[in-house]
Amino acid sequence: MLHQGPEAVLSQEETATGLVSSRWKLSLIQAAVPWLERYTLSGIWRVLQRYDLKLRTASVQQYSPDPDYEPKVAYLLDCLQESAQNPETIVFLFMDEMGYYCWPEVSQIWAEATPGDAPQADRQQAKQQQWRLIGALNALTGQVDYLDNYIVGRAKVIELYQLIVERYAWASRIYIGQDNWSIHKHPEVMDALATLPVIEPVWLPTYAPWLNPIEKLWRWLRQDVLKMHRLAAQWSLLRQRVNSFLDQFSDGSSELLRYVGLAGDGKLATAIQNA
């Protein structure tokens, strides 16, 4: 019942006023369940606790507007399975870009519970600056290759392609899963790809970041390095910290594969395991 909204359960008379909340409240649960009529609201709360029904944060339902979503996902899974079946000759990488600033991102932090004294993200004596990354994550090993610069555009995309070909010189085919950022399909980038026939782009559905596991690597980086850091006035040191974080995966990482969903029971991990 609780998976539905109140309007789907309460009677027409009860919802006719249009004042019913879009989410369940104790009073609405009481109105929808006859045997709770004589309970107080605190009593209803205890009943729900007894049945392990608690307030939980909702998650956003994933949705891509791409009309070719299903065939693109099917092709992605086929390429993943092919690389898992032929790891000596075929590679699958996920590629993406991210940017970060010298000012720390605000986040929760352990601190003394002093009234009116919230933790501060220190941005004093620091001019706001931005830096960018482009990286590739090996779907089978967790190896990460990346480049960084003030600007990441078509030149850096081409440079990463060339780095990948050098890094995987033994491969006969390199699949690269990537989003539909316009730079990825720029004529100069496509011309460069024509000179690197070993690389085959795998275009992900539009607005479907859950299908690009390297997005979760960026999230880990933000959580461990960028949120509430104390290096706003030490820009070069912050960039070194970011690079050191990524360098720990230069030889691959099973922990990273688990974190980003390429090991375990998710859709992408299952495709690899079933190869």
Q: Which of 211, 148, 142, 155 is nearest to 178 (CA)?
A: 211
Residues 84 and 219 in one domain: yes
Question: Is there a domain that residue 57 lies in?
Answer: no
Question: Is there a domain that residue 239 lies in?
Answer: yes
Residues 151 and 263 in one domain: yes
The residue with greater pLDDT, 183 or 105, is 183
Segment 184-234, tens digit of pLDDT = 999 999 999 999 999 999 999 999 999 999 999 999 999 999 998 888 889
Percent of the chain at pLDDT above 70? Answer: 92
pTM: 0.81
Segment 44-95, tens digit of pLDDT = 999 999 988 888 887 777 789 999 999 999 999 999 999 999 999 999 999 9
Residues 40 and 84 in one domain: no
Structure tokens at 234: 């030490």
* Beta strand 130-138 pairing with 173-178: unpaired
Decide if 210 contacts 260 (C-beta within 8 A): no
Q: Calculate the CA 248 to chain-centre distance.
A: 19
In this model, does residue 1 exceed pLDDT 70? no
Question: Is there a domain that residue 61 lies in?
Answer: no
Question: Is there a domain that residue 116 lies in?
Answer: no
Question: Is there a domain that residue 228 lies in?
Answer: yes
Residues 255 and 152 in one domain: yes
Residues 80 and 189 in one domain: yes
> In sequence order, what are the residues at sequence separation of 6 or more whose Cβ sits closer than 8 angstroms to the Cβ of residue 137?
93, 94, 95, 143, 144, 213, 214, 217, 256, 260
Our count of domains for the chain comes to 2
Residues 23 and 99 in one domain: no
Percent of the chain at pLDDT above 90? Answer: 71
Residue 7: predicted pLDDT: 62
Residues 134 and 162 in one domain: yes
Domain range for 43: 6-50
Helix (H) or strand (E) holding 216: helix 214-221
Residues 149 and 237 in one domain: yes
| 43: phi then psi, degrees, rounded to nearest 5 | -65, -40
Question: Is there a domain that residue 155 lies in?
Answer: yes
Question: Is there a domain that residue 114 lies in?
Answer: no
Segment 22-39, tens digit of pLDDT = 778 888 888 888 899 899
Give whole-number Cα distances, 204 to 70, 74, 226, 272, in Å: 10, 10, 27, 17
Question: Is there a domain that residue 55 lies in?
Answer: no
